Amino acid sequence: MLRTLSVRAEHWPLSTPFRISRGVKTAADVVAVTLVQDGRQGRGEGVPYARYGETIDSVLAQVNALGEDLARGMSRQGLAERLGPGAARNAIDCALWDLEARLGGRAVAETLGQLPLHPLVSALTVSLDTPQAMGAAAARMTGATLIKVKVDQNDPAACLAAVRAAAPDADLIVDPNESWTLDILAALQPTLAQLKVALIEQPLPAGEDAALAGFTSCAPICADESCHVAADLPGLKDRYQVVNIKLDKSGGLTEALDLLQQARAMDFGVMVGCMVSSSMSIAPAFHVARHADFVDLDGPTWLANDYAGGAVQRGAHLTPPQGLWGVPDGAEA
């Protein structure tokens, strides 16, 4: 067995800026990995995230450091033993899954004992802005049944009220991205209940979420930055009711599937999310998202241009990428 590895940084401009409490994005900067064996190629994508100390250069270095091992046939299990969870392992792990599907002529869905992928109801995201602008953004989301609202400490109630007025029938996820305190969360409970918020995602900083132990919320609270891999679950049990699985946090589809199984066994609800990325990132995430209670895979919809055959948002539903990843050459998802 002999494989060749290629890895590069890619820059995908967004059609409009994406703002959260930590800053603003105008492009998705990703690391793309390609593994070639016997004339077939497997691809994967990782999104370096500064919140976790990652940069494009650090992820490129992590991938390149494993070049010889990958050339000699490193498995997904071997990868997990050599590299911790994060964007680099995600890109390689997903490339290995894709390569296996193309070499073996068997789609990832079939390998997992599942039917072919189908469209899923996915959240559309209203990025952080003025209440008026956020309401206008929600009003443009024709047919959306699930909307995720990015907020910070600055009058989140007004932002949420504006979105609710523009989308009276949609389920709402509120995502402060660690910007609230327990006092803010407690003070907002009547407003969150009145606006019928369905989920509160990572309200407190991950290092301070012990304060959630014993807190009674009007809506389930979801761990995002506090949950990366299955080993994190025991420490979340008395703080969160839902966990957000992202492949860039878990380090690939392999760990994400294990996290899904163990989260269900521990009675956690499951959300599947993504970074702002191309459809190459969310193609493998669909195999976890099909089992989730909440799906938030609209990352590629922010791009000015995506892969041909990429995911398409049609009203409330997101169509999985076609032929892009995890299927035999020439096949669809």
Q: pLDDT digit string (tens) for 121-159?
A: 999 999 999 999 999 999 999 999 999 999 999 999 999
Question: Between vectors from CA 52 to CA 49 and to CA 57, what angle results, nearest 5°?
Answer: 55
Active site residue 246: yes
From the candidates 148, 150, 196, 249, which is the catalytic residue? 150
Assess whether pLDDT exceeds 80 at residue 169. yes
Tell me if 166 sits within 8 A of 136, measured CB to CB.
Answer: yes
Tell me, yes or no, whether 11 lies in a domain: yes
In a domain, 67, yes or no: yes
The verdict on whether 237 is a catalytic residue reads no
Position 1 pLDDT exceeds 70: no
Is pLDDT of 20 > 90?
no
Give the pLDDT mean for 237-256: 98
- Asked if residue 212 is part of any domain, the answer here is yes
Query: Of 18-27, 41-50, 303-312, where does mean pLDDT reach its minimum?
Result: 18-27
Range(s) of the domain holding residue 76: 4-109
Q: Quick one: 188 and 267 in the same domain? A: yes
What pLDDT was estimated at residue 131?
97
Q: Where are the alpha helices (DSSP H) in the chain?
A: 56-65, 67-71, 76-82, 87-104, 108-111, 131-139, 156-166, 182-187, 189-194, 247-250, 253-265, 279-289
pLDDT of residue 162: 98
Q: The CATH number of the domain where 39 resides is what?
A: 3.30.390.10
Verify that 76 and 35 share a domain, yes or no: yes
85, 32 contact by CB (below 8 A): no
CA 36 to each of CA 4, 43, 99, 283: distance values in angstroms, whole numbers, following the listed order: 5, 9, 8, 19
The single residue of 25, 148, 237, 246 carrying the catalytic annotation is 246
Mark 223-257 as b/e (b = at least 16 C-beta within 10 Å): bbbbbbbbebbeebeebbbbbbbbbbbbbbbbbbb
Q: What is the dihedral of CA 173, 179, 185, 187, to 10 degrees?
A: -120
Residue 333 has pLDDT above 80, yes or no: no
What's the mean pLDDT in 323-331? 91
* Same-domain check for residues 147 and 273: yes
